[in-house]
Structure 1
Amino acid sequence: VSPRVRSSLFLKILLVFLGAFTSIIVYASVSYWYFDWERQRLSVQTTAINYAQFILEELGHPPDSSRAREVSEQLEIGVRIEGPGVDWASSQSFPTFDEVNLPEYEGMAMSRAGLTPSLGLSADVIHEDYRYLLALQAGGMAPGSSNTSEDIADVLFMMILLACVYLLTRRLLQPVRVLSDGVEQLRSGQLEVEMETRRTDELGRLVVSFNEMARTVRERIKARDQLLLDVSHEIRSPLTRMRVALEMTEDSKAKQSIIQDIEETEAMISELLETERLESEHGGLEYAPTDLS
């Protein structure tokens, strides 16, 4: 699996839909060929045999070549007749019996019928001493097959269907992309991130939960900063009193050490207060161009 597929939820879902759709198509095709082929074949053969019997009645018995030509031209069919004293075909290019492979018809002995690419709907029947090969309808195809235009239409339909599925899936999973952007902003320190959604499903609730989480983080950080600020203010007064009291004592190493500790503590408090002032709404630095020439 390529890295792009592993890192893209949209592509994974599309592949799942594609696999499911392909499986359905394969299953439907196999079922159609398995359950419907025999029924279609028998239906086509029955139609061909019934039509052939009608033609045989028109040809008469024994068959006459002039009558056969008349029937062939009138009905626009191909005819070949073999029998005692007769070996006739409606055209010189009309195939022989050996050149045409038709499946046997179980409903009539010594009869074959079906569809062939060259002759279309055809029948090969034996009536008394004569054998007839009849091309009843040209342009036929085997049962279950389809023409090129139908195949192209099916492919286009499947492509359009897959495109619609992809676009719909992308729209349904749009909150995932929004969440990804929001998490990236939060990770970079943009605590004021807030994502909008009108969805009420699971992904919509996930966006709402993320907004609540970001809001909670902001409030806790603000509470922490406020606590540090309050503590800093409260500590300054005792430190000042301690410093005044120390000024009234005699100089010693202990006094200097305590004064140094007080100064370090005051420096840290001043740094905290200055940081809070700079981060406040009206206390931040404002950058402006200045002409130094």
Structure 2
Amino acid sequence: MRSLIARIRHSLAARLLLISIASLFAVLLVISVFFATGWGHKFDEVLLPHLQRYHAYLLQELGNPPTREKAAALASQLPLQILLFDEQGSWSSDGQAVARETLEKPRRPRNSELYRDDHSERFYLHHRSGDTEVFIGISKFPERGHGGPLLLLIALILAVSYWLIKRLFQPLKPIRAGVAEFSEGNFSHRIPEARKDELGELAGQVNHMADAIDAMLKAKRDLLLAISHELRSPLTRSKVALELIEQNDITDGIRRDLNDMEQLLSEILESERLKNAHAHSVLQRSEFSLEELLRDVTGKLDPDGKRIRLDAEDCICLLDRPRIKLLLHNLLGNALRHNRDEIGPVGLHARCHDGQLVIDISDHGEGIATEHLLHLTEPFYRVDPSRQRKTGGYGLGLHLCQVIAEAHGGGLRIESVLGKGTTVHVRCSLG
């Protein structure tokens, strides 16, 4: 019940309906006040003379003094109720007794001979002829019926109004879904622009915004790729020239820096190649043993077998072996770099389950704050921008791992607890 009330309270359609109802009541109130103040003052000037003339004709028919026989004859000809109060007592043309005390002048109109009987809900014109008082009933209020049908009709009108308002705002659903797609990076998605109203224009503007963002990101990627390609040639020439000079500690440091730059360029080109719309055609899938691949990677990163605890189920995988190997190498390298070996080794769990390769890598590092987790796979993102290359890398490794997993029809998810460590979950489709 609370959730329903909260949903209605936050519903745009419900708010608009309430505003419409409030506006309607305000209009009715203004109209009522207008007629109450304006029409009441005009009653004596406009309607009362006609009523008095009609009253005079009726009194002429009743005679002077009025008799009950003439009153009965007149009441039988016209839809009137005539009351007589004289020495003989009270008399009513319809046989219904009316006490004189119940007839009172209404507050409006003023200075008129208009009376009202609250019991019969009639208005009466009054005349005195000697000792005889005459009351001629000129109208009768309609009988009050039950309020059930009226309430049902009002509820039906409100329900139809709410449905129409909901239908009016129906385009907000595809707009919201489209914005969610854009936030996931799917800028090829398009929001339908069937409507020609403001919401249709909004959908068109959001699509235009998505095109602009996609164009800017594409230009950024193209620039990055162009720079990466252009740097390969001077990088290769530098490595060749380095081999031709006398080797020492300085040249060894230069060689390491050149190798790091070459790795960085390779990761940039590889990630952009796999992010292509036809990434599945780039993959070179082949069958291989999962256990053999894991031992190959861990043997190079942990020759002594003390820093990585391997828990794997052997199975035959149909995946791009070099790229899966690169993924494992990057993730295990990160885990070993941040792991506190005195607490325990890095955990590597791998198995084939339900048509997927499932890999979980956990360390006992310092952990990562929650606000950084969603950004870890962004290119060049670093939790601590001041970190050095040897401790923090360039910020492309996790991004490349995510791209490799997604190219294989899977994904990468990171969980971390400050002070306890981090776990990376990888899923890749085997088919």
In structure 1, distance between residues paired with 2:100 and 2:195: 71
Measure, in 2, the Cα distance between the counterparts of 1:205 and 1:66: 79
Task: Report the counterpart of residue 116 of structure 1 in structure 2.
Answer: 117
One-letter amino acid of the counterpart of residue 127, structure 2: V
In 2 relative to 1, CA 232–158 (structure 1 residues): closer, same or farther, beyond 3 Å?
same
Return the TM-score normalized by structure 2: 0.52
User: Match of 1:197, SS?
Assistant: coil
AA at the equivalent of 2:181: Q
Inter-partner Cα distance in structure 2 for 1:289 and 1:68: 104
Query: Aligned residue for 1:228?
Result: 224
Which deviations, in whole Å up to 9, do the C-alpha atoms of 1:258-283 show, x marking residues without a partner?
A: 21112111111221122122112132
Find 2:38's aligned residue among 10, 23, 35: 35
Aligned counterparts of 1:73 and 1:183: Cα–Cα separation in 2 = 77
Q: Distance in 2 between matches of 1:251 and 1:70?
A: 138
Separation in 1 of the partners of 2:212 and 2:123?
A: 78
Please say if residues 124 and 134 of structure 1, whose CA atoms lie closer than 8 Å, have aligned partners that are also in contact: yes
Work out whether residues 80 and 134 of structure 1, in 8 Å CA contact, stay in contact via their aligned partners in 2. Answer: yes
Which secondary structure state, in structure 2, belongs to the residue aligned with residue 98 of structure 1? helix
Residue pair 1:45, 1:105 contacting (<8 A) in 2 also: no
Given candidates 262, 267, 274, the residue that maps to 1:266 is 262
Q: Is the 8 A contact 1:115 1:140 kept in 2?
A: no
1:76-109 Cα shifts (integer Å, max 9, x gaps): 63432315xx43524875223223113599999x
| Residue number among 188, 195, 202 corresponding to 2:191 in the alignment | 195
CA separation in 1, counterparts of 2:137 and 2:207?
A: 75
2: CA distance between counterparts of 1:106 and 1:211? Answer: 66
* 1:125 counterpart residue number: 127
For 1:115-264, what aligned pairs fall within 5 Å after superposition? Answer: 115-117=116-118, 118=120, 120-127=122-129, 129-137=130-138, 139-140=140-141, 156=153, 160=157, 163-164=160-161, 167=164, 171=168, 173-199=169-195, 202-264=198-260
1:72-87 alignment runs, 5 A limit: 77-83=81-87, 86-87=88-89
The secondary structure found in structure 1 opposite 2:101 is: coil
Q: Which consecutive unaligned segments of at least 5 residues does structure 1 have?
A: none
* Match of residue 17 from structure 1: 20
Distance 2:155 2:43 in 1: 26
* Alignment counterpart, residue 94 of structure 1, candidates 87, 97, 103: 97
Code of the residue aligned with 2:164 in structure 1: it is: L
Q: Whole-Å Cα distance in 1 between the matches of residues 250 and 150 of structure 2?
A: 96
CA 94–47 in structure 1, closer or farther in 2 if over 3 Å, else same: farther
Q: Distance in 2 between matches of 1:154 and 1:190?
A: 50
Structure 1: distance between partners of 2:217 and 2:110: 90
Mapped to 1, the partners of 2:91 and 2:72 lie a distance apart of 9
User: 2:89 is paired with a residue of what secondary structure?
Assistant: strand
Cα distance change of structure 1 residues 19 and 107 upon mapping to structure 2, 3 Å threshold: closer
- Superposed CA RMSD: 4.3
Note the C-alpha offset of 1:122.
Answer: 1.9
Structure (1/2) with the larger strand percentage: 2
Structure 1 residue 255 displacement after superposition: 1.9
The 1:150–1:113 alpha-carbon spacing in structure 2 relative to 1, beyond 3 Å, is: farther
**Structure 1 SS opposite 2:103:** coil
Post-superposition shift, 1:39? 4.2
State, as a whole percentage, how many aligned pairs show the same letter.
Answer: 25
Q: Assess if the C-alpha contact under 8 Å between 1:120 and 1:135 holds in 2.
A: no
Residues 242 and 101 of structure 1, relative CA distance in 2, 3 Å threshold: same
Task: Please tell me the residue identity of whatever aligns with 1:283.
Answer: V
Tell me: CA distance 1:200–1:67, structure 2 relative to 1, closer, same or farther (3 Å): closer
2:124·2:137 contact (CA, 8 Å) conserved in 1?
A: yes
Give how far 1:60 is off: 3.4
Change (3 A) 1:158 1:38: farther
Distance 1:271 1:71, change over 3 A: closer
TM-score, normalised by the number of residues in structure 1: 0.72
